[in-house]
Amino acid sequence: MKVIFLKNVPPHVKRGQVKNVTDGYARNYLLPRGLAAPFTQKIEESLELEKEKSEKSAKGDKEKVENVFSALDGKRIVLVVNASDDGTLYAGVGKKEIVQKVQKVYKLTLNENQILLEKPIKSVGDHEIAVQAEPKKQLKLLVSIEKE
């Protein structure tokens, strides 16, 4: 029996694939669980339309994210913290504080993993931080630490 898979069936089959399977396997396992449907042109066309729509929306989302992150590139955020007279911070400024400040100032949601900071900032002054916007794209963010 020729079936089209409606869901991924790891590790062998992905959604939308058409395969010939035994009649018993299709009737007793795949069809009752909603994993596959008997192959018809109508079902194949509807799956292709759905796939095209999801690709278009993913492309639009990607462009939106790029625009948002490009607006952040080269921007400056100011953090006011307790520091000693010689400019050493009492508590280091880490990824969490930077993410919170970006959310507060620019209304952008960042993940702490996107901030590429090896160790917390422990001195007053300007520090350039890399932000991983996409897998192959990094932005620069200027973090100014000022004494309270």
pLDDT in tens, 21-63: 999 999 999 999 999 989 888 887 887 888 888 887 777 767 7
CA distance 147 to 80: 6
pLDDT, position 43:
81
CA-closest candidate to residue 88, choices 42, 46, 122, 117: 122
Q: What is the DSSP letter of 103?
A: H
Q: Mind listing the domains of the chain with CATH numbers?
A: 2-59 (3.40.5.10), 69-147 (3.10.430.100)
**Is residue 65 predicted with pLDDT exceeding 70?**
no
**If you average pLDDT over every residue of the chain, what do you get?**
86
Of the given ranges (14-28, 60-74, 131-145), which has the lowest mean pLDDT? 60-74
3-state secondary structure of 14: coil
For range 108-134, the mean pLDDT? 88
pLDDT, position 145:
93
More reliable by pLDDT, 126 or 47: 126
pLDDT in tens, 72-93: 788 899 999 999 999 899 999 9
3-state secondary structure of 45: helix
pLDDT, position 81:
93
In one-letter notation, the amino acid at residue 49 is L
pLDDT, position 61:
66
Give the β-pairing of 76-81 and 137-147: parallel
For range 133-144, the mean pLDDT? 84
pLDDT, position 6:
86
